[in-house]
Structure 1
């Protein structure tokens, strides 16, 4: 609440002759502390102000004044009453004016005498006006009964203006006291809102302090009007509308003046927040004012076109700010990688603050727009997601460069794991911003690539160690496959603890990659065409070996976190093709296999059929043709769209 005197609710009158009593009263008031709290004291505590007539004095509404049986007071007596603040003098003054109007109509007095008497009446009306508007100037400092009396005089004079105008009797035109009062209210609003704001909270700009002061002042002053003045003012005066419109007009003028300048990003945001959020919600529709001010229909502080321009400026600058902040965050993180700074450990996982920084930057931009309007939040959401997609592409490029250039650093693998873990936070946040099925590919693709490249880096050494072990399958012509497979799986088991600092979901994905690698390499060895079995018994034995190895691989990978159930049929179904002897049965098995693995080609089939040395070339050709049929005719939903055989080259 701004520091201002309660007297300022209505401005000073034009410098007319004021009663001496008012001058003395004004001197005494200067000694009292100011502020809206004092404005309420008359009503909350029931104290009587010094210099005001006692409630025992015979001051009543004009309508309740009894007609006196004594002669009407003279001009001098009326002047003395008015100087003492006795508002009941208004009724005989009105009677005196009407007497003059009647005399002018009948021509009973000379024109000079009428002018002389009328000038005295007008002087008395000036005194009365000063008394009435003087009381209304500081309505919260006036006792309720006396305020009602002043209002009764004001309303009566307004009615007299209308009556005289209708009868064309007013010699000098209507007095328009109600209009003068409204001008005073407008001046009071300007003085209250233009008062210097209290010492601001550190960190607020001057513009923010000014608008905060104006908003608080307007709300608290209008609450005082609704609670304290409305019950006392006649409905026809509409005191709430008078004050609300005056405060609104000045508030709007201040904002319009500010909007003419080239605003910084912060002030543009502040202006929009006040126009679109704080003013309509916290003032116009506040609990104490909403019912009253909705009736007044004050409207917006700025015209729609200007608001749209400010919103466009805000969106543009906010997007640029978000872009720069994300780029800076990535630059700092890249510098940490290059300096070989070890990532943090959080709950046993390698952790990077980059994902958190990016999420906060995006979320804050979104929240900032939504704090203006929800519609603006929707508009900026699309723009921020585009910026996020561009950032993720930059992130992927920076990570790939790190993978290539920094292999020798001590914390290389830990930083790789930390960046893979980042993908979880980023994806989860994107799913919170919009439903998972609505996340566009240009957002997910960079994360998938980053994770995939990270996995390749982490597994490169392991897969390199496995390569010579898999070669033994063909070098020994499958004589000792069980021992070879056992050594392969033992090597994998020894290396799995290296990946423990990945998040659980990524350890499972990495286990699936290992699972895929084992199955793929096994199939590659089967497809080398170095093994030709010409008897059914030999083929039966190989099929049993393949089935046994497939079971061992599946159990090992499943126990270590792989959920790649789509790989479970890859080796057993091939074993079945090797075991079968009837070409028609082989065709059925191949057709089924192609539905499980759509990338199983004729080349892959030919490599497997080469093992079966007892098939004629025509039988091989006939079996191969089944893949043409399975590609042209849908035999049911394909079970897996993930690549397997497309990763296997056959020559």
Structure 2
């Protein structure tokens, strides 16, 4: 069975290294800027200001740290000492560029941008605005305006790459530089909106909106694709698909945690940096899932895909404790559409039910082979023990747990299906056990295996009741137990048969002595059943109790004893009552719970003793409420003992059984086991 997949100790991707390492792809804008800048010159710009810009490129840059050092505090959930100093508040954009002295030359702006001096953005925007103003005022040659515009656009292309470059490796960038790049990007977005509201002069080609923010989002999408597309690390015991999804899941969660903890404090709120990364990662993850769902999946991969779509992705990533607050309200949606999920769920349910059925059949086949091969059952706490019930319950429970790991609703659906399969299995189990009872009587471990299977019934019954299953699954178990008890008691009841015959052969002259012998035989045989579990020893003792009472009544009903005087009837009633007390006391002391049998013989003794027909009617009516299967034939056999009753009196007493009292009816059977006539 596939174990539950978690993110603990997952193989695969490390921390968010794409944020600190150059990406493999090269932006088209970089090539464009290199080509166009070769045309730039200083002849169209005013002389440079007296105080040149400070060369930030000459300042020392921090050496790139290893990935483990850089991201350790995110993957472990701890804050590195001193890390707070490197996190600066969200950047404030530079003020709108205005007239602040003469503009630098094209060469100076180009050199400044190539050195990474993002302060050149402000004069460059002034240059762009002055160009637009000149074109709007008229007077300048159109060719000259176009030439100047091409040089301005070449500088903007270089600026764009200097701005977007740090954003492709944000955790590797010095926080101050990253903040300046974000400020320039924010200002460019505002300028795009202003330009959209103010149509440019017709003499110039439209260059805005430049949509640098959109380019940044495209780079994030490419980074997500590259990160989630990395080959997963080796993981023994997992399929290729499982390894791939585990690696993607871990990478996505760790990367988004790093974005939320490190980048969110630096990015302007309107950039929605966490949402941008989350949406990009979600889109690629969903594409991978959709691609996999198109294939004909094996049962294991069907389960894995559903587990990710319905449980691991929404619960362990999107709603994980570290990300739930950040991703709340994004409405990323499911990795698959509902219709496709339903199809996968139907396939999963079919696969799992088939698997459970095969596993249960295999377990029963192995158990049946052990019976036939006369393999002795295990002993557990002094009782005969079989692992079959435990194996079957585990198979059912694991199937239900597997479905519940996807969704609780799927667990409910499969539960009813698995209980139906369990009921079918128990019927097969009963048939296999009956076949064993019939064919293997001569084996040495026959009785021990019978007791082991009876003991199984308790384990099954506890689980079925816990699952709140319908009562149908219990019916085969009750049959199995009943047939097992019959087999175990067969020898004992055969030994008791000649003893009970003495009661009629001696005309009840030595009834007390005979009953004492019966009790002695039963007591001597009880250790044979000690390897049954205690509850089944009690049930078996109840069956013995029923048998003793039944056989005693059978002997009373043989119509061979007719007593015509009240004294004789009272003497017999006393013997019956004494024997009843002996049977009740002995069986109760040895665990019989059959309190319902207590009045069975004592009331018959009272009917034999009474002489008034009306009093006899009352006793018979009471007796019929306790034993609804007590019939007129049974009553006639008892009344035949009373030789001083007239036929009319007997008829009147019998008529009392025609009245249905509607009072309590016992679920136990006694007189239905007794045939008279």
Shorter chain as denominator, the TM-score bin is over 0.9
Aligned residue among 611, 620, 629 for 2:641 = 611
How far the C-alpha of 1:7 sits from its partner, in A, is: 3.0
Kindly state the Cα deviation for residue 291 of structure 1 after the two structures are TM-superposed.
Answer: 1.0
| TM superposition shift of 1:33 | 4.4
Deviations 1:368-415 (A, max 9, x none): 011111111111110110000000000000000000000000000000
Look up the match of 1:2: 13
The structural deviation recorded for 1:61 is 5.9
The size of the alignment, in residue pairs, is: 629
Indicate the residue corresponding to 2:172 in structure 1: 141
5 Å matches for 1:286-325? 286-325=320-359
Say if 1:571 and 1:8 are closer, same or farther in 2 by CA, change over 3 A.
same
Cα deviation per residue 1:459-499 (whole Å; 9 max; x = unaligned)? 00000000111011001110100110011110000100000
> How far off is 1:6 after superposition?
1.8
Question: Are the aligned partners of 1:7 and 1:138 in contact in 2 as well (CA < 8 Å)?
Answer: yes
Structure 1, 153-162 or 599-608: larger mean CA deviation: 153-162
Tell me the TM-score normalized by structure 2. 0.89
Spell out, residue by residue over 1:154-181, the C-alpha distance to the aligned partner (whole angstroms, 9 max, x if none): 1111111111112122723421101110
**2-structure distance, mates of 1:427, 1:134:** 69
Q: Which residue of structure 2 aligns with residue 50 of structure 1?
A: none
Q: 1:176 to 1:422 in 2, by over 3 A?
A: same
How far residue 13 of structure 1 moved from its aligned partner, in angstroms, is: 4.4
Aligned with 1:92 (options 106, 113, 123): 123
2:675 corresponds to: 649
Q: Does 1:199 align with 2:240?
A: no
Relative to structure 1, the CA distance from residue 40 to residue 445 in structure 2 (aligned partners, 3 Å threshold; closer, same or farther) is closer
1:401 and 2:431 correspond:
no
The alignment status of 1:382 with 2:382, answered yes or no, reads: no
Secondary structure, in 3 states, of the residue corresponding to 1:568? helix
Q: Which residue of 2 aligns with 1:341?
A: 375
Question: 1:11-160 to 2 correspondence within 5 Å?
Answer: 11=23, 12-15=25-28, 16-17=30-31, 33-34=66-67, 37-38=70-71, 44=80, 63=94, 70-160=101-191
The CA deviation at 1:66 is 9.4
Q: Which has the higher helix share?
A: 1
In structure 2, relative to structure 1, the CA distance for the partners of 1:444 and 1:69 (3 Å cut) is closer
CA-CA distance at 1:442 after TM superposition? 1.4
**Do structure 1's residue 162 and structure 2's residue 197 form an aligned pair?**
no
- The correspondence for 1:483, drawn from 481, 493, 513, is 513
Distance 1:127 1:45, change over 3 A: farther
2:384 is paired with a residue whose SS is strand
Contact 1:535 1:613 survives alignment (8 Å): yes
Partner of 1:414: 448
Provide structure 1 residue ranges, at least 5 long, that are not aligned to the other structure: 48-54
Query: Which residue of structure 1 lines up, in the alignment, with residue 207 of structure 2?
Result: 172
Asked if the contact 1:61/1:88 (under 8 Å) is kept, the reply is no
Distance 1:235 1:483, change over 3 A: same
Change (3 A) 1:44 1:140: farther
Q: Quick one: distance in 2 between partners of 1:602 and 1:159? A: 105
Report the CA distance between 1:14 and its aligned residue. 1.2
Asked if residue 252 in structure 1 is aligned to residue 283 in structure 2, the reply is no
Give the alignment of 1:173-572 within 5 angstroms.
173-200=208-235, 202-434=236-468, 439-572=469-602
Contact 1:273 1:372 in 2 (8 A): yes
Q: CA RMSD in A?
A: 2.5
**Secondary structure, in 3 states, of the residue corresponding to 2:285?**
helix
Counterpart-to-counterpart distance in 2, 1:563 and 1:370: 41
Structure 1 residues 24 and 384 mapped into 2: Cα distance closer, same or farther (>3 Å)?
farther
Offset from partner CA, 1:232-274 (integer Å, 9 cap, x none): 1111110011000000010011001101111111001111111
SS in 2 for 1:350: strand
Which runs of 5 or more residues in structure 2 are unaligned?
A: 1-11, 35-54
Structure 2 vs 1, CA of residues 587 and 22 (structure 1 numbering), >3 Å: closer, same or farther? farther
